[in-house]
Structure 1
Amino acid sequence: MDARRVDDVTARLRAAGCVFAEEEAALLLDASPGDEGALERMVADRVGGRPLEAILGWADFAGLRVLVDDGVFVPRRRTEVLARVAALGLREGAVVVDMCCGTGAVALALRTAARRAGLAVTVLASDLDPAAVANARRNLEPPVGSVFEGDLFAALPEELRGRIDVLAVNAPYVPSAGISTMPPEARDHEPRLALDGGSDGLDVHRQVAAEVATWLAPGGLVAIETSEAQASGTAALLAAAGLAVEVVHDDDLDGTAVAGRMPSRSASAARI
């Protein structure tokens, strides 16, 4: 790779405000070997604020290459915390659902974790955005699992009610007033419905908490991504739904997830 060309692209990206300009320059050059026209188009797109992952057509998530289409929410490294917490609920024969799936990155990571552990699981995903559903299907169908289009639990087959062992939710949690302060690659290139969580960022979390207990299996786990500041609010919603709650934060990834565990049948019987 031409060091001078790397320096030139890096300088242009840095001037445009790209924090990881050198790493991005290397990726763009690698994606356009010897094609100066393609490189120029990609650099111009990135300088204009288009997400790097949409330009490349993929994102690195939990060590996996996830396909990313234009206009779809880009998986963040912080969401690896959500995938890690959700993986704690994996077991043989588990039914796993990635809700608000976007590209399907979390579903892909959970299926990979299950395979590495030698577990056979059923992995499903859902999203309200038709573009996200199409993108997730490219990543998941086949052989990972089916992707459904619709609003939260309404998207899922009724026969899953009371049978979900692992529910991973990356619902929007940015307060409406905070959208304007987000980086341009998010606020200008990703769908608002994937970002806007209402006045306090918890509107969709409330909707999930209101129904989650009827969809989880006994002992089932729900994991919801949130911010560190909002975690107590998300945790309170799940606790009010009757779940045992834990907040997990990773400083290195700057990621936070709230886990809620349904009582097992034996625990429920003991209380009765």
Structure 2
Amino acid sequence: MSISTCTPVAPVSAPAPLLPALSPSVVVTRLRAAGCVFAEDEAELLLSTARTPAELAAMVDRRVDGLPLEHVLGWAEFCGLRISVDTGVFVPRRRTEFLARHSVALGRPGAVVLDLCCGAGAVGVVLASVLPGIELHAADVESAAVRCARRNVGAVGGAVYEGDLYAPLPAGLLGRVDVLVANAPYVPTEDIGLLPSEARDHEPLVALDGGADGLDVQRRVTAEAARWLAPGGSLLIETSERQADRTVAAMVRGGLTTRVEEDEDMGATVVVGTSPR
């Protein structure tokens, strides 16, 4: 008589219970309790972005813990575009849309554009989305920002370099840049502690701290700009209303003709410097 044998089968475990989805009202309530001023708007974004109830719960938890909304979502809206923003990367500000708009106005199809202190690359991406055929270059000193910018800028055909201001740029750009845009840090060191915790605790200090008077990096940008600009090319720098006169003075020392553009509603100030033709 033969005896049949069989391989033991491991017991089947019961499926994990599904996490119940958070209702919109619960999400709003939790965000409002955490101090989110625009709780309804944020809840709508979280609900539309999360792919599963578990992901939604995790995203709400991260936001309630104080992580910037853009880091929770993984993107920031900027000039109507979605810009990828990783955790720990400087989040493009709404007032910087003013800088982007003026950069577009000074550009043209096929222009050579350089986005210094590019962060996630938002301004350069806007120019590439509006002006066909531009040659876009971007640079930042912060590694996480460069990784993020390479996704954003690379998607529109641009190149991103890692290094201190002009140092990593190819020499072939000298004297060819039509639009040089720089959102360099301009917060004075002693004012860093006054920034909202979302910026102070979750964005790199190098993207915020502009030195004793806030203009250390701006002065370094303006000192070298004329070498990189094409004849008649423009440098645009975001600054503050109270610092604008010193930004202008730095551009004048750099050999540029300047003007100041302001938008009171946005609280935005941009200084534009133009090289001689």
Considering the TM-score relative to the shorter chain, is it more than 0.5? yes
Q: Once the two structures are superposed, what CA deviation does each residue of 1:196-215 show, in whole Å capped at 9, x if it has no partner? A: 00111100001011111111
Q: Tell me what 1:270 maps to.
A: none
SS at match of 2:181: strand
Q: Tell me what 2:86 maps to.
A: 69
What do you get for the CA RMSD once the two structures are aligned? 1.4
Deviation at 1:67, TM superposition (A): 0.8
Whether the 8 Å CA contact 1:246–1:259 is kept in 2: the answer is: yes
Instruction: Tell me which of the two structures has the higher relative contact order, counting C-alpha pairs closer than 8 angstroms and 6 or more residues apart.
Output: 1
Are residue 104 (structure 1) and residue 117 (structure 2) matched? Answer: no
Whether the 8 Å CA contact 2:223–2:253 is kept in 1: the answer is: no
Q: Once the two structures are superposed, what CA deviation does each residue of 1:10-37 show, in whole Å capped at 9, x if it has no partner? A: 222222222221100111111225x332
Aligned with 2:99 (options 79, 82, 99):
82
* CA distance in structure 2 between the aligned counterparts of 1:75 and 1:140, rounded to whole angstroms: 14
Greater helix percent: which structure? 1
Q: Tell me what 2:66 maps to.
A: 49
Deviation at 1:251, TM superposition (A): 2.3
* CA distance in structure 1 between the aligned counterparts of 2:39 and 2:240, rounded to whole angstroms: 26
Aligned with 2:212 (options 168, 188, 199):
199
Amino-acid identity (%): 55
Whether the 8 Å CA contact 1:225–1:257 is kept in 2: the answer is: yes
Residues 1:92 and 1:28: Cα distance change in structure 2 (over 3 Å): closer
TM (norm. structure 1) is 0.90
Between 86-95 and 179-188, the greater mean CA deviation after superposition: 86-95
AA in 2 matched with 1:104: G
Whether the 8 Å CA contact 1:98–1:168 is kept in 2: the answer is: yes
TM (norm. structure 2) is 0.89
The 5-angstrom pairing of residues 1-272 of structure 1 reads 5-32=23-50, 35-115=52-132, 120-264=133-277
Whether the 8 Å CA contact 1:108–1:144 is kept in 2: the answer is: no
Deviation at 1:142, TM superposition (A): 4.0
Whether the 8 Å CA contact 1:247–1:258 is kept in 2: the answer is: yes
Higher-Rg member (1/2): 2
AA in 2 matched with 1:71: G
> 4+ residue runs of structure 1 moved beyond 3 angstroms?
none
Q: Tell me what 1:268 maps to.
A: none
Structure 1 unaligned runs (5+)? 265-272
Structure 2 unaligned runs (5+)? 1-21
